[in-house]
Structure 1
Amino acid sequence: MALAPVSWLWRGLSRWQQDQVVHAAQLELARLRHVLEWSGQAPSVLAARLTARLEVTGGEARIARPFGWITHRGLVRRPSCSDVRCDDGARLDTGAECENCANVLHSRRAWRVRIAAEVDRELPGLEADARYREIEARMRRHAAAEAADFVDRQAKAREWEARRAAYRAEAEARALADRERAAAEAAARQVLGCADCGRARSAGLCEVCGHRRQTEALIGEAALLAATWSADLTDPSGVAAVAAEVRRAIEDAIAAEWAQFQQITRPDALEATGPDAVKDAAAHNAFLTAESAAVEYRQQALMMLGRSEDAQAEARRAFATELAKPWYRAVPGSDDAQRAAAEAAAQARTRTAEYLLAVRLEQLRTRARPEPVRPASWAQRLPGLAARSLGEEVLR
């Protein structure tokens, strides 16, 4: 479809020339597909270009060298401006006149008017021919300066593109090296035994021990959540008692879930899947139960802290503030006003409960951390050092 307008010229090409024309047409079609809104228009647009170029030339009969004309005049885009969609002053995607070309023409006319005014101001009284020659000379100098600036900007753009390509290549090389290093480290970890039970090829921690650690962490978190509202945070024994009660409750729940799991699962079938399948299943069951319990204890803590005096006071203030807004002040007893005030109070109560929970958890975690051992000051250490007797070597 694209080369149909030059079918008569096609017969005069050799086999090698036909291949070159096909290659050039494919490249131009690829460029057009990136420019056009609908890539399927590329063959028809290229055919229209060849038809227009033939009309300008005067028909196929006036072309003496078909191969050179097709590859250097017919297929080549001839932009009149810097827009990639411009071809002979027309837009490739719409077929309308190129707005950028109009802007360039308007800019050139504006420069001509400006240069003419400069000539009239600097050289008054010139004859018409001399004035025209001076204007043309200055226009040529301005065009040469613009061309030099354009070449300079192109060189800088190519330099920046080369730098970006180098940066991209360097980043890709670093990413590849990081991936290879990560793969090597993962492969090295895979051969390590479990740090807790010693199971071979467990990447440092087997699944059973990993679930056990996670279960212990969840039980500790649940104990802290329960202590935030049911224990005096300044009393370590009370916090410990709540933690022991929570641990006992979660362990009972784990035992009950495991017993129910054993009732619906055949132990011999489970053992047939692997030597450690029973341990894996028990550890996973304990982890899931502890995770569910931690979520429940968190919800319970938020509910209880939401009933505290601080949360209730914040809810009352939010309720009164909502009713005091201008659009509810006139009708504070309406259903809309009461509903909006209730929603604001609930949100304030929830925010306060979450804040109280975060503060109390941080307080419990801070007290659970061991205090750092600080070395004694020199004022305390110097008397003891002075009381030591010096050795014989030092005395000599």
Structure 2
Amino acid sequence: MPRCRGLAETGGEAMVTGPYGWLIRRGLVQRRSCTDQRCDDGIRLDTGGECENCSNVVHIRRARRAKIAAQVDRELPGLSERERRRVLEERLREQVAIEAEDLVWRREQARRDAARAAARERAERERQEAAAAEAVRQALPCEDCSRDQAAGLCEACDHRRQTETLIGEAALFAAAGSADLTDPGSVAAVTAKARTAIGSSIAAAWQEFLKITDVAALEADPEAERDAYAFTAFDTARQAVQEFQTTALEMLGRTEEAEAEARRAFRAEQGRPWFQHNPTGADAIAAATKTADAARGRVAEYLLATRLEQLREQTAALTEPAAAAPWTDRLPDLAARPLHGGTAGAVIA
């Protein structure tokens, strides 16, 4: 029986209450002494014969022992039999350790190669899935104008949306720089003026573009004309944001808060130890002026950020839907309403 040695390893005879479970977990557990999955302790589970792989291993081990023994005899010919056996066993252990380390390294390399191959397959699969998803997305029509093959939003409509956002941002910069934030009318007037100015700039930029392009060819392709106008408006609005931001910072830099901070910074720099001997000299004045300008700019940036936040909060409050009154407040009004004639008669009856 190929399993008698495994049975002995389990402790020999024992009281077995569940034969199947005992056989699977204790008595007939396959021992992995060979790399062949069909081998168990030198016996092939499928044929019952000897495992060729184990036979090869035995031959290899015998050849290795003979080779090392020949090396010992050649290098140390005068050893006694006992000393020769000791040296041989030491060298065999060293060789086995080297081979075991090499086996571990080769298995680790195989594992890494398999992991890299799996990663490449996964990356290729993800690339194909992304390409398929992108192909589906590219086939979607435009949400705004229904143009085919627009990836959900054509370039012209995308530029139009961005232009609207930029115009709103520029209007906020204009209001933050010069409007009275406590007066909604003032804010509305400044933002409307800014929007009108940007609209005029877009119209002027479009006319300049028409002067340097083939108008006939442009008119022959309505989509190209639409795309060109959308990009012109977008580019003009983008420049307007920068201009309105710069103007707002300049105006806020002339406020009393900014001027007061600039004066404090000027005096502080002028009073530095290295300028005490000549605080009104050219070097001291130049350094103090530079420091004052930097302080004025910081205050302007802080004021701009604060005012923009206030404007956005006001805009959000105006666009939020009014909350419905609670039922406790609405029921008295509903109860006071007269019922319709037919309904009233039915209730009274």
Q: If the length of structure 1 is used for normalisation, what is the TM-score?
A: 0.52
CA deviations 1:75-125 (Å, max 9, x no partner) are xxxxxxxxxxxxxxxxxxxxxxxxxxxxxxxxxxxxxxxxxxxxxxxxxxx
1:296 match: 243
Distance 1:160 1:325 in 2: 67
User: Does structure 1 residue 365 correspond to structure 2 residue 321?
Assistant: no
Distance 2:197 2:322 in 1: 36
- 152, 170, 189: which one pairs with 1:204? 152
2:210 match: 262
Trace 1:44-123 onto structure 2 (pairs within 5 A): none
One-letter amino acid of the counterpart of residue 137, structure 2: R
Distance 2:241 2:232 in 1: 14
CA deviations 1:271-324 (Å, max 9, x no partner) are 45x441111111111111111111110110011111111111221222122223
- 257, 280, 291: which one pairs with 1:310? 257
Trace 1:278-289 onto structure 2 (pairs within 5 A): 278-289=225-236
Distance 1:357 1:151 in 2: 73
- 205, 224, 233: which one pairs with 1:277? 224
Distance 2:111 2:321 in 1: 51
- 311, 334, 343: which one pairs with 2:290? 343
1:233 match: 181
User: Does structure 1 residue 323 correspond to structure 2 residue 323?
Assistant: no
CA deviations 1:132-162 (Å, max 9, x no partner) are xxxxxxxxxxxx9xxx9x9999999999888
Contact 2:179 2:187 in 1 (8 A): yes
Distance 1:161 1:375 in 2: 69
1:222 match: 170
Shift in CA distance, 169/242, structure 1 to aligned 2, threshold 3 Å: farther
Distance 1:211 1:164 in 2: 48
Contact 2:177 2:247 in 1 (8 A): no
Distance 1:159 1:360 in 2: 66
Shift in CA distance, 154/379, structure 1 to aligned 2, threshold 3 Å: farther
- TM-fit CA distance, 1:330: 2.8
Shift in CA distance, 173/355, structure 1 to aligned 2, threshold 3 Å: farther
- TM-fit CA distance, 1:338: 1.6
Trace 1:162-173 onto structure 2 (pairs within 5 A): none
- TM-fit CA distance, 1:195: 0.4
1:58 match: none
- TM-fit CA distance, 1:219: 0.7
Three-state SS of the structure 2 residue aligned to 1:312 is helix
Q: If the length of structure 2 is used for normalisation, what is the TM-score?
A: 0.58
- TM-fit CA distance, 1:213: 0.7
Distance 2:331 2:315 in 1: 34
Shift in CA distance, 356/158, structure 1 to aligned 2, threshold 3 Å: farther
- TM-fit CA distance, 1:242: 1.4
Distance 2:105 2:199 in 1: 68
The structure with the largest alpha-carbon Rg is 2
CA deviations 1:13-72 (Å, max 9, x no partner) are xxxxxxxxxxxxxxxxxxxxxxxxxxxxxxxxxxxxxxxxxxxxxxxxxxxxxxxxxxxx
Superposed CA RMSD in Å reads 3.7
Distance 1:362 1:203 in 2: 34
Trace 1:240-251 onto structure 2 (pairs within 5 A): 240-251=188-199
Runs of 4+ in 1 over 3 A off after TM superposition: 150-181, 370-383
Distance 2:131 2:188 in 1: 44
One-letter amino acid of the counterpart of residue 283, structure 1: A
Three-state SS of the structure 2 residue aligned to 1:276 is helix
Distance 1:283 1:318 in 2: 46
One-letter amino acid of the counterpart of residue 311, structure 2: L
Shift in CA distance, 156/195, structure 1 to aligned 2, threshold 3 Å: same
Distance 2:172 2:144 in 1: 26
Distance 1:336 1:152 in 2: 78
One-letter amino acid of the counterpart of residue 188, structure 2: A
Distance 2:287 2:101 in 1: 62
Distance 1:189 1:333 in 2: 68
- TM-fit CA distance, 1:344: 1.1
- TM-fit CA distance, 1:183: 2.2
Q: Give the gaps of 5 or more residues in structure 1.
A: 1-143, 384-396
Shift in CA distance, 260/332, structure 1 to aligned 2, threshold 3 Å: same
Shift in CA distance, 303/380, structure 1 to aligned 2, threshold 3 Å: same
Name the stretch that deviates more: 218-227 or 335-344. Answer: 335-344
Shift in CA distance, 162/258, structure 1 to aligned 2, threshold 3 Å: same
1:190 match: 138
- TM-fit CA distance, 1:191: 0.5
Distance 2:257 2:113 in 1: 60
Equivalenced residue count is 239
